[in-house]
């Protein structure tokens, strides 16, 4: 099942500048910065109630974030939903005709299990499923 919006990802050009901007907007600091080498991104997170805002800066030219900003400019990049069983949801969504961008969950920020759905199959909004790793 889909449980909640876990975070909203926003593609930005400069983490340093946007950390200042979003600090002014929210009236509080980001609580962490995390590099996700695999995805070619450097991220920062702001906590707002049960939802987070993730700022995403590209660290390589091949990064999904570089391509996104070249094409569309800065802006909302994806919406991440927390699910209770990522394997079951991936199977269900594939059967419903959504395009999964990986056949197995990958490791994302916070060491979570994640899977993206192609925006062409979700009305132009990149969807991320995420789930806490159960130790």
Residues that bind ligand CMX (CB under 6 A): 9, 36, 39, 41, 43, 56, 64-65, 67-68, 71, 77-78, 101, 108-109, 116, 118-119, 124, 126
Q: How far apart are CA 33 and CA 47, in angstroms?
A: 12
> In this complex, which beta carbon is closest to ligand CMX, that of residue 27 or of residue 62?
62
Is residue 15 within 8 A of residue 134, CB to CB? The reply is: no
Work out how close the CB of 58 gets to ligand CMX at its nearest, in angstroms, rounded to a whole number.
Answer: 9
Q: Which two tokens stand for residue 106?
A: 């990958």
Q: How far apart are CA 92 and CA 130, in angstroms?
A: 15
Burial class (CB in 10 A: 0-12, 13-18, 19+), 44: buried
> In this complex, which beta carbon is closest to ligand CMX, that of residue 25 or of residue 76?
76
Work out how close the CB of 90 gets to ligand CMX at its nearest, in angstroms, rounded to a whole number.
Answer: 14
> In this complex, which beta carbon is closest to ligand CMX, that of residue 23 or of residue 106?
106
Work out how close the CB of 69 gets to ligand CMX at its nearest, in angstroms, rounded to a whole number.
Answer: 10
Work out how close the CB of 82 gets to ligand CMX at its nearest, in angstroms, rounded to a whole number.
Answer: 14
* Residue 59, C-beta contacts closer than 8 angstroms, at least 6 positions apart: 35, 37, 40, 41, 42
> In this complex, which beta carbon is closest to ligand CMX, that of residue 27 or of residue 61?
61
């Amino acid at each position: 099942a889909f449980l909640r919006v876990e975070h909203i990802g926003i593609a930005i050009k400069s983490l340093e500048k946007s950390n200042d901007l979003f600090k002014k907007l929210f009236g509080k600091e980001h609580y962490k910065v995390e590099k996700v080498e695999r995805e070619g991104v450097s991220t920062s997170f702001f906590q707002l109630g049960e939802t987070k805002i993730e700022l995403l800066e590209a660290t390589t030219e091949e990064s999904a974030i570089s391509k996104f900003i070249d094409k569309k400019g800065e802006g909302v990049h994806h919406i991440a939903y927390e699910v209770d069983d990522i394997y079951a949801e991936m199977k269900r969504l594939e059967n419903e005709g959504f395009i999964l961008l990986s056949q197995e969950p990958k490791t994302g920020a916070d060491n979570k299990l994640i899977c993206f759905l192609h925006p062409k199959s979700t009305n132009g909004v990149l969807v991320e499923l995420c789930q806490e790793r159960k130790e």
